[in-house]
Amino acid sequence: MKIMVILIYFYEKDIPHSFRKGDLVILYPESENGYDSLTQHILKGSIKELHHNRLIVSLFNKQTDYTFIREYNYWAIEPDIFERNYWSKISCLFNFLKCDPRRSDLLLGVEEPLTENNFDFEDVNLTPHQNICITRALNARDYFLLQGPPGTGKTSTFLVNYIGELVEQTTDKIIVLAFTNKAVEKICQSLKEPRSRRPIDYIRLGSKHVEDDYLFAELIEDDDNPDNWQMLLEQNRVLVTTVATFQNNLLLLKQFIDFKNVIIDEASQLTEADLAGILATFEKFVLVGDHKQLPAIVTQHEKTCKVHQDALIEYGINDLRTSMFERLMINASRRGWHHSYGQLTDHYRMHEHIASLITSHYNEPLVAVLPEQKTLISLIPYPPSHPYNLSQRVELFSSKHPLIQPPARIDKKQWWPLSSHKL
């Protein structure tokens, strides 16, 4: 039986945090001496739901006595980690150390990636520039890097059409990875309900706390026959999961799947160590991200991230906070390998005046697509006697989409006073 605990927190003002649905957390109560995780009983779980005034945590262990939970009114919540994720990342790096020289040269940015002319993708529902980016990605033999500024449809437009075309035109297995569970959910939703093509079947890897009709753990529940597992994987050519889950299960998956194509969303948030071992095992990879918007998430101090080894600096690896995505993008641009990277320019989220504030940070200008992104309306009708009369009224931008999406904040420790209730 799975136990759900609703935790309602009270505060005088908004407390910034970076918690997201699916995050691993630990909970412990406030004692007479305050919050001290080393002297209190700790509960572990994952965030099931997140609202502005409450969150729901799904506990990992079954509770038989709720006296302890009811005894305290206020609780602290902190991010948790699986040590296994770190060891899996380290062991995965051995794939890079033992890969063939050409593969390592590709990842280091020394070898020019090859391209072919097997595809000429065109969808009348997409813009010419979107069709060009998808065509370049399909024709890439070794790798393709796509930069997607805010609201340009990295997932709903590029990723879905790229995967859909591979499914229709090839027989390859396709691995789709993302940094966060939230991104994986968005990918799965886009595959289920694409805008301009048929739904794409997939299998999702993850814990049983994930809610998805295509979750592998649920589909093989009570089935201990590996032959049936293999049959299920063979019947579905698209596998979706997080980078951490893939690393944890890499050796097992190798027994069932040929590692040929991998697409990694949110790649700009992943460090060299996160990706090198994974990419070394695939024949071709596509990285999707935006280092201008979502750089790699590193809590380590800046001084300890600086690289001093001359051999690494020669390859452009001079700061461990820089993602492989960003390094390869800069390297490809500098070397003139224009076939190996691209940038989406057509955006649907911001008003064009808002977009003008960030467009200078990109190689290609951003282009507003929707009419409401180009329209100004008056929202404050000052009376004629007011100093700011009708001719001087304040003009605000009109858009049906969010104008600004603030980035997540990373804090070393996040405290929330909570009161507990059991569902």
SS (H, E, C) 41-107: CCEEEEEEEECCCCEEEEECCCCCCCHHHHHCCCEEEEECCCHHHHHHHHHHHHHHHCCCHHHHHHH
Residue 346 has a pLDDT of: 93
3-state secondary structure of 178: strand
> Tokens at residue 54, please?
């409450």
pLDDT, one tens digit for every residue, the chain (423 residues): 444 555 555 555 566 777 888 788 888 888 888 888 888 888 888 888 887 777 788 887 776 677 888 888 888 888 887 777 777 888 888 999 999 999 999 999 999 999 999 999 999 999 999 999 999 999 999 999 999 999 999 999 999 999 999 999 999 999 999 998 889 999 999 999 998 889 999 999 987 777 888 999 888 887 888 888 888 888 889 999 999 999 988 888 888 888 999 999 999 999 998 999 999 999 999 999 999 988 887 888 888 999 999 988 988 899 989 999 999 999 999 999 999 999 999 999 888 888 888 988 999 999 998 888 888 765 555 556 655 454 443 443 444 444 444 444 434 444 444 444 433
Residue 9 three-state SS: strand
H or E segment to which residue 378 belongs: strand 376-378
Give the pLDDT confidence score for residue 100 in this predicted structure: 93
Q: Is 279 exposed, middle or buried (0-12, 13-18, 19+ CB in 10 A)?
A: buried
Minimal CA–CA distance to 324: which of 265, 246, 270? 270
Which own/partner pairs from 116-121 qualify as long-range (CB within 8 Å, at least 24 positions apart)?
A: 116/140, 116/141, 119/165, 119/169, 121/161, 121/165
CB 23 within 8 A of CB 418: no
pLDDT 10s digits, 45-101? 888 888 777 778 888 777 667 788 888 888 888 888 777 777 788 888 899 999 999
What does the pLDDT look like over 249-300, one tens digit per residue? 888 888 888 899 999 999 999 999 899 999 999 999 999 999 998 888 788 8
Instruction: Concatenate the DSSP letters of all residues of 108-156 into one string.
Output: HT-SPPPB--------TTS-HHHHHHHHHHHHBSSEEEEE--TTS-III
Which residues contact residue 47 at a Cβ distance below 8 angstroms, ignoring those fewer than 6 apart? 19, 20, 21, 22, 23, 25, 55, 56, 57, 58
Domains, the chain, in order of start with CATH, read 4-80+408-422 (no CATH), 83-336 (3.40.50.300), 352-397 (no CATH)
Longest pairwise C-alpha distance within the chain: 81
Residue 142: the pLDDT is 97
> What local confidence, expressed as pLDDT, does residue 405 receive?
41
| Mean per-residue pLDDT over the chain, rounded | 83
What pLDDT shows up at residue 45? Answer: 85
Among 157, 177, 161, which residue's Cα sits nearest to residue 169? 161
Burial of 41 (0-12, 13-18, 19+ CB in 10 A): exposed
Angle between helices 324-335 and 272-279 (to 10 degrees): 70
| Environment class of 208 (CB within 10 Å of its CB; exposed 0-12, middle 13-18, buried 19+) | exposed
Measured CA to CA, the distance from residue 342 to residue 290 in angstroms comes to 11
Global pTM?
0.77
Neighbours of 62 (CB within 10 A): 8
Distance CA 128, CA 126 (A): 7
pLDDT reported for residue 223: 82
Residue 399 pLDDT? 40
Answer for the pair 248, 88: CB distance below 8 angstroms, yes or no.
yes
